[in-house]
Amino acid sequence: MPSLLRRVGRSETANGWALISPAMVLIGVFGLLPVLMSFQLSFQQSDLLTPRTPWVGLDNYRKLAEDPVFVESIGHTIVYTALFVPGTMIVGLLVAAAMNRSVRFISVYRTAAYITMAVSTISQGIIFLWLTDRDYGLVNAALNAVGVPSQGFLASPSQALLVIVAMTIWGWTGFSVIVYLAALQGVPEELHEAAAIDGASAFTRFRTITVPLLGPANLFLVVWLTINALQLFDEVYATTRGGPLRATTVIVYYLWDRAFVHFDAGYAAAMAYALFVVILIITAVQFRVARRFVHYS
């Protein structure tokens, strides 16, 4: 009997490996292999056009600290992340709190809040290009109606990055609404009822009961949105192409520019792995800090 069970177990294991092997092959060929090849490329000099790729060691990594455009792109990425992450979370929480109730057509409102996630990032860029157009945009039309002259938002070094922040907050708010709405529906109603009996106002109940219980949702959104913010590319490519005056040149856009415009693939690969290490460190710090502030029920 034990031998029969062992044979059945081995057969099931073999069947399991056989079922997942096609997916593993695809992941290995199109996922793991390019990662390893790009890591090797970061120690080489390559223009992506010729087979000659001389080994340069750590030179590509040393160039990062000496490249003023890369340093500038880090600053833009930090500013963008610092505005985008809390902005998306605050707007998402407020919208989710407003929708966490039983009213007529609530499913329609929730769908409308999430619909921005169905719009591709390139489409978002095109939409905001039209909205902020100096001559025909609705934003400038509204400003003109109250006597404010037209603004070239995406053509302004001081305003372009802020427009991209607003655009991405609009695009990601639906995602944060869904996360917060699920978390809000997990808050025990008895706690609110008990606090209301004790005379606590709605705002006090929200601040002292609801917000502390949203810790896991906050942690998830902080980590997820930060990783996405550090990899900002599509919106910049669709709207400003890094300008004006490189005001919206973020790390990933600069990486793309070095690889596919200037054909300096080795340097771009080094940039990608530097960003990868930064993301790992930031994520680890976020989880470590969360141990003190996030309480799981």
54 inside domain: no
6 inside domain: no
Q: Which domain holds residue 253?
A: 60-293
80 inside domain: yes
47 inside domain: no
36 inside domain: no
3 inside domain: no
Mean pLDDT of 275-280: 95
CATH, residue 190 = 1.10.3720.10
Q: Can you say whether the dihedral through the CA atoms of 175, 177, 181, 187 is positive or negative?
A: positive
How confident is the model at residue 40, as a pLDDT?
A: 93
Torsion region of 151: left, alpha or beta (phi above 0 gives left; psi -120 to 50 gives alpha): beta
What percentage of the chain exceeds 70 in pLDDT?
Answer: 96
200 inside domain: yes
* pLDDT tens digits along 37-95: 999 999 999 988 888 889 999 999 999 999 999 999 999 999 999 999 999 999 999 99
| DSSP summary character for residue 96 | H
- CA pair distance 163, 170, nearest whole angstrom: 11
224 inside domain: yes
Mean pLDDT for all residues in the chain = 89
Name the packing angle between helices 160-184 and 106-114 (round to 10°): 140
| DSSP summary character for residue 148 | P
How many CB atoms are closer than 10 A to CB 188?
11
How confident is the model at residue 187, as a pLDDT?
A: 85
| Contact between 202 and 168 (Cβ < 8 Å) | no
* pLDDT tens digits along 138-181: 999 999 999 999 999 999 999 999 999 999 999 999 999 999 99
The position carrying tokens 């037209």 is 150
How confident is the model at residue 2, as a pLDDT?
A: 60
How confident is the model at residue 128, as a pLDDT?
A: 93
Q: How many domains does the chain have?
A: 1
Q: In angstroms, what CA-CA distances link 200 with 98, 101, 191, 194, 295?
A: 19, 19, 11, 9, 23
| Contact between 76 and 157 (Cβ < 8 Å) | no
In 3D space, the residue among 103, 234, 113 whose CA is nearest the CA of residue 181 turns out to be 113
- pLDDT greater at residue 192 or residue 22: 22
- pLDDT greater at residue 270 or residue 200: 270
How confident is the model at residue 143, as a pLDDT?
A: 92
For the CA atoms of 89, 177, 166, 143, what is the dihedral angle to 10 degrees?
Answer: -120
